[in-house]
Structure 1
Amino acid sequence: MAHQLNDALASNKKARHEYFIEDTYEAGMVLTGTEIKSVRAGKIQIADGYIQIKNGEATLLNVHIAPFEQGNRFNVDPLRPRKLLLHKKEISKLIKETQATGMTIVPLKVYLKHGYAKILIGVAKGKHEYDKRHDLKKREQNREIERVLKHR
């Protein structure tokens, strides 16, 4: 998947800080007409979202899509659950991966592909506080190295 972050309509920067991302999947989203217009305008927040699998279907929960300004009566609840389109094999694989303790499925970014809204989801394991500190320390060291190499 050759997606740059600049073509993302929304990205979940918090997810990489809070979790170790083990595996990623691309899924389609079932949206209404006014929702897709809001998504194309970038009015979507996925930071607090998560994916739940029930009855063989993946559902995106707690993701806010702002009501479309010209949508009037066609607008739906901004926080409504949205079905994700995945293959049966992928869903069964996700079920197996999330049965391990501490594993969850989080949205990583939303983007358009051939005119359709797609979401990149990741199977993630929660980080401990010391892991987060280690990541920050590592990032700071890399910045320092870059700074030194830049001035040569």
Structure 2
Amino acid sequence: MVTGTRRFLTPDDVDRLYARAAGLLSSGRGDAPDASTLVIRIRTASGWHETSVRGDGDRGRADEFMAAATRAGTDAGAYRSERVAVVVVADSDGGSDVRPWPLSTPATGMPGYPSRPCLVTDAAAVLAAVRTATVDTRWTTDDGHRVALRVRPLLAYEKSCIDLGS
């Protein structure tokens, strides 16, 4: 089971967070970031507020904001996601830890294959299959490619891979 921490924020808590993030968050979405980018995304009733921080420029301010956000409000208990998105993020020959494909759905059967493969599936089954993997693990697809996978829990409002980008 994939878990996280939920927080309950009052309108005053949200106002304090926005004041702390002055100039850091902007509305809308940009292009997909690379691995060296920190993305901060907040969803409110009025829409998305997001910033992408590359390099060291605003990274300190972003880190401070994220630390404040994790302490804001009151504890609302654990968030348990029973569904995850499995995303193919790289096609690579590298890595000495190469394993057989871990999912019951073949890579070529994933929605979006071959350009943006993503599959929403049961968390328990995926986590059991990839539990000992690392970021360096590569998986052999049914058409012979070696790829890296990222497993991401779905948030309460997310139902499909399309929701990951909205």
Give the structure with the larger helix fraction. Answer: 1
Question: TM over 0.5, yes or no?
Answer: no
After TM superposition, the score normalised by the length of structure 2 is 0.21
After TM superposition, the score normalised by the length of structure 1 is 0.22
Q: Relative contact order: is structure 1 or structure 2 higher (C-alpha 8 Å, sep ≥ 6)? A: 1
